[in-house]
């Protein structure tokens, strides 16, 4: 492991040779007192692309000039906007474009997918989830079961790591699926756990679920736009996500769903319906009987939020220009730098609870003084976040963060640890 000077030189070299580094200029970086802050919060809310305002203004101009006819006029018609998002999202999710629908927000889509994909049948009625799943999943599942008159405590099987604060081994997840296979109806898993930052082996989990005769759904809020996904090839039944984290769609951005094509033509499929899921060619005939589209858009309910679609398109166009594979390569190198420059500082002061299988996020667990460390980092201009009871999360994003920022973070963290723990005679733990 190199010293601080070597790290600084490495960071500078990586930034000089970064093939996607120029795309940082496409984003508005938060500032304080005229100085750019170091923003490591893509796992909570991605930064605003500079093109977002122009994209929304374009919709406002169309509305002002053409009114409702904007749905149908020109190459930029509002009716065409949804489908223009699908190719990029298909590349990012490893799916086919007709398996995707951009609609609603995450929690709404989970509720809709539960209607279609939770199919209790005799003994097979249990739902397997990870412990400490994001609350959207827990609330949606528990309320759906209560609505059906079922006791969530009897239906939900949670897989945990023992302490509840550590990553869950993939082997434990698969073992739980096998152990409950006779009673399992659905596996609902976060692609990346929001607390630990763990990326599950989703292909292996999906295979185990299929062998157990269970359907599998994913919450990809922390995975989409972050890591490689192969939803179609893994035969995931459904997935939902928000678009305001790594996809930079803005606060409350329109979310999305994946529904594997094998379900598109199932005649007995239960779902809640709305007029925008009706076949486009007959949608405006206002028929009384619902005629579903023959793809994932059949699950759409309402007229799409055009300005939110435009905001998401502004961000996705940057993904297209940068190249998804190049962004993934930078993310992996950034994680290597985090491991060498940040994790190595831990000693007895903190421990990384994010396993090697990860995306952008790193979660650092502090036995003591973690909140004080967080507050000092924030005061120094590092925008990270705090999760109770004792974890600091940071997520350098390849689209707009630099390697030098990671080095600067490691240097600041080292100084803070030395200051906070030197009085206890523990400064020697900091390398």
Give the Cα separation of 405 and 38 in Å (integer): 7
What pLDDT, on the 0 to 100 scale, is given for residue 425?
56
User: Are 31 and 106 in the same domain?
Assistant: no
Same domain for 283 and 169: yes
pLDDT value for 283: 83
Pairing of strands 238-241, 215-219: parallel
Domain stops at, among 319, 348, 378: 319
Per the structure, the complete domain to which residue 354 belongs is given by: 4-49+323-429
Strand pairing category for 184-190 and 215-219: parallel
Same domain, yes or no, for 12 and 134?
no
Reported residue count of the chain is 431
For tokens 């329109």, the residue is 254
Helix count (H) and strand count (E) of the chain? 15, 17
Strand 362-365 relative to strand 351-352: parallel, antiparallel, unpaired? Answer: antiparallel
Secondary structure (DSSP) of 107-126: HHHHHHHHHHH---BTTB-E
How far, in Å, CA of 182 to CA of 125, rounded? Answer: 9
Cα–Cα distance list, 316 to 84, 209, 247, 286 (Å):
10, 32, 7, 33
Boundary residue ending a domain (299, 319, 339): 319
Question: For the CA atoms of the chain, what is the radius of gyration?
Answer: 23
Residues 408 and 385 both lie in one domain: yes
Residue pLDDT tens, the chain, 431 long: 456 678 899 999 999 999 999 999 999 999 998 899 999 999 999 999 999 999 999 999 999 999 999 999 988 999 999 999 999 999 999 999 999 999 999 999 999 999 999 999 999 999 999 988 888 899 999 999 999 999 999 999 999 876 656 789 999 999 999 999 999 999 999 999 999 999 999 999 999 999 999 999 999 999 999 999 999 999 999 999 999 999 999 999 999 999 999 999 988 889 999 989 988 888 887 888 888 889 999 999 999 999 999 999 999 999 999 999 999 999 999 999 998 898 888 788 999 999 999 999 999 999 999 999 999 999 999 999 999 889 999 999 999 999 999 999 999 999 999 998 876 655 444 44
Let me know whether 16 and 119 are in one domain.
no
Q: What pLDDT does residue 108 have? A: 97
Residues 130 and 240 in one domain: yes
Tell me if 387 sits within 8 A of 393, measured CB to CB: yes
pTM value? Answer: 0.93
Is residue 203 domain-shared with residue 291, that is, in the same domain?
A: yes
Beta-carbon count within 10 A of 99 CB: 25
Q: Are residues 304 and 419 in the same domain?
A: no
* pLDDT score, position 148: 96
- Split into its structural domains, the chain has a count of 2
Residue 393 exposure: Cα atoms within 13 Å on the Cβ side: 24
- Report the CATH number at residue 214: 3.40.640.10
Query: Given this model, what pLDDT does residue 343 score?
Result: 84
Q: Are 101 and 239 in contact (CB under 8 A)?
A: no
| 230 plus 377 within the same structural domain | no
- Residues 250 and 186 placed together within one structural domain of the fold: yes
Identify whether residues 163 and 260 lie together within a single domain: yes
User: Where is the domain boundary, 319, 337, 368?
Assistant: 319
* CATH number of the domain within which 391 lies: 3.90.1150.10
Q: Are residues 105 and 243 in the same domain?
A: yes
Contacts of residue 40, Cβ cutoff 8 Å, sequence gap at least 6? 382, 383, 384, 394, 395, 396, 397, 401, 405, 409
């Amino acid at each position: 492991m190199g010293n601080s000077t070597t790290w600084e030189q490495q960071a500078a070299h990586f930034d000089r040779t970064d093939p996607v580094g120029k795309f940082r200029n496409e984003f508005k970086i938060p500032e304080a007192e005229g100085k750019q802050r170091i923003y490591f919060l893509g796992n909570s809310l991605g930064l605003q692309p500079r093109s977002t305002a122009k994209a929304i203004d374009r919709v406002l101009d169309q509305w002002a000039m053409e009114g409702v006819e904007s749905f149908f006029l020109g190459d930029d018609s509002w009716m065409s906007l949804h489908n223009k998002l699908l190719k990029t999202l298909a590349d990012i999710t490893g799916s086919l474009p007709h398996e995707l629908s951009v609609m609603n927000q995450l929690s709404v889509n989970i509720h809709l997918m539960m209607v279609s994909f939770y199919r209790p049948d005799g003994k097979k009625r249990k739902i397997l989830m990870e412990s400490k799943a994001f609350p959207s999943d827990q609330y949606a599942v528990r309320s759906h079961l209560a609505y059906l008159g079922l006791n969530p405590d009897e239906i939900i099987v949670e897989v945990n790591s023992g302490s509840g604060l550590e990553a869950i081994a993939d082997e434990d997840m698969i073992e739980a699926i096998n152990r409950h296979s006779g009673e399992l109806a659905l596996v609902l898993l976060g692609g990346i756990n929001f607390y630990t930052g763990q990326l599950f082996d989703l292909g292996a989990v999906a295979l185990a679920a299929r062998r157990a005769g269970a359907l599998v759904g994913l919450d990809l809020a922390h995975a989409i736009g972050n890591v490689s996904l192969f939803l179609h090839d893994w035969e995931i039944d459904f997935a939902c996500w928000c678009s305001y984290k790594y996809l930079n769609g803005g606060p409350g951005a329109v979310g999305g769903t994946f529904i594997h094509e094998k379900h598109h033509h199932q005649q007995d499929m239960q779902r809640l319906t709305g007029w925008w899921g009706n076949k486009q060619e007959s949608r405006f005939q206002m028929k009384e009987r619902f005629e579903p589209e023959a793809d994932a858009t059949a699950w759409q309910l309402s007229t799409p939020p055009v300005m939110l679609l435009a905001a998401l398109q502004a961000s996705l166009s940057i993904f297209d220009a940068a190249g998804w594979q190049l962004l993934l390569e930078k993310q992996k190198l950034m994680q290597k730098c985090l491991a060498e420059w940040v994790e190595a500082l831990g000693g007895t002061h903190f421990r990384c609870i994010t396993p090697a299988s990860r995306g952008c996020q790193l979660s650092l667990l502090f036995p003591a003084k973690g909140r004080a460390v967080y507050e000092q980092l924030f005061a120094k201009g590092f925008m990270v976040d705090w999760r109770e009871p004792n974890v600091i999360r940071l997520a350098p994003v390849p689209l707009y963060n630099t390697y030098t920022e990671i080095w600067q973070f490691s240097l600041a963290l080292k100084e803070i640890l030395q200051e906070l723990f030197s009085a206890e005679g523990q400064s020697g733990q900091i390398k």
